[in-house]
Amino acid sequence: MRGRTVSKKAAARHNRVRKQHSDELAEDYVEAIGALLGERGQARVTDLQGVFGVSHVSVIRALKRIEERGLVERTEAGGYELTRTGKAIAEASAERHDLVVRFLLALGVSSGQAEADAEGMEHHLSEESLRAMKAFLESQ
């Protein structure tokens, strides 16, 4: 298969990808909550249900886990807000997302597709690759 080898390092890489997947949902949630707070001033179960297109039950349980991780907190009003840690992750996540989208656009990818692909890719890029993309954008 064109020189690809099945090395021992493959195992480590696969473990890395599995680890990334378990963090994806949390990042997507804090990112969405940050956006909702900015746009609507509140982030409730129903709002998130709309964003992700899943049942409210799935949202509630995801939020429970994310709350346990210390990323979000309930407000008295019944909504959710970001903790300091959550805010930092949301910021970083949104920044990374923007960078990836702008990079894909610079490559010539259409706007809608760039959005869609960024959604999937953004959790799998190392700092090194992100820096390379940033450098590419600046060198244009």
Please report the DSSP string for 80-105 in residue order. Answer: EEE-HHHHHHHHHHHHHHHHHHHHHH
Instruction: Please tell me the count of residues contacting DNA according to CB under 7 A.
Output: 24
Coil/strand/helix, residue 55? coil
The C-alpha atoms of residue 44 and residue 104 are separated, in whole angstroms, by 32
Among 4, 8, 9, 18, binds DNA (CB under 7 A): 18
Determine if 120 is a binding residue for a copy of itself (CB under 8 A): yes
Q: Report the number of secondary-structure helices (H) and strands (E) in the chain.
A: 6, 2
The C-alpha atoms of residue 123 and residue 30 are separated, in whole angstroms, by 13
Determine if 135 is a binding residue for a copy of itself (CB under 8 A): yes
70 binds, among DNA, a copy of itself, none (CB under 5 to 8 A by kind): none
Determine if 39 is a binding residue for a copy of itself (CB under 8 A): yes
> What's 6's DSSP letter?
-
User: For residues 72 and 104, which CB has a smaller minimum distance to DNA in the complex?
Assistant: 72
11 binds, among DNA, a copy of itself, none (CB under 5 to 8 A by kind): a copy of itself
Burial degree of 50 (CB within 10 A; 0-12, 13-18, 19+):
middle
35 to 7, 69, 134: CA distances (angstroms): 42, 20, 23
Per-residue x/- track, 52-81, DNA (CB under 7 A): xxxxxxx-xxx--x--------x---xx--
Among 27, 34, 59, 71, binds a copy of itself (CB under 8 A): 34
Q: Which residues bind DNA (CB under 7 A)?
A: 14, 18, 21-22, 24-25, 44-46, 49, 52-58, 60-62, 65, 74, 78-79
